[in-house]
Amino acid sequence: MSDTYILKGHAPVPVELEVWARWYEKADRHVRDTARDDVRVSTVFLSIDQNFGRGPPLLFETMLFVNGAEQGVERYATWDEAEAGHARWVKQVFKATPILALPPTGDDHE
């Protein structure tokens, strides 16, 4: 069994190294990419099994970067898992912060 994969639509397909190499040269492997200021959440199709035959192939990866430095990683077997994982990371990393209400100034009351 090959450890190299290409995407057919969103489905990973195992292929021999020569086929993989030709595909990889031009492939758009991005699943999602979300950035704000110096923080980035990037999810990509790795195309090489990161589980190395010890269970289902882990072919997708979400990484968190802060100031360009890796701060976390999570891997997935399917495109759908990768999209859900990306959404979860984005929700956590970029969670909304409540706006602090300023106390009224006297001029605000009648």
52 domain-assigned: yes
Q: Model pTM?
A: 0.83
pLDDT tens for the chain, 110 residues long, are 579 999 999 999 999 999 999 999 999 999 999 999 999 999 999 999 999 888 899 999 999 999 999 999 999 999 999 999 999 999 999 987 666 655 566 554 44
49 domain-assigned: yes
Structural domain boundaries enclosing 46: 4-93
Number of domains in the chain: 1
105 domain-assigned: no
Q: Alpha carbon of 13 to those of 54, 61, 70, 73, 84: distances in Å?
A: 18, 17, 28, 23, 21
What's the rounded Cα separation, in Å, for the pair 75 and 80?
12
103 domain-assigned: no
**Helix, coil or strand: residue 39:** strand
110 domain-assigned: no
99 domain-assigned: no
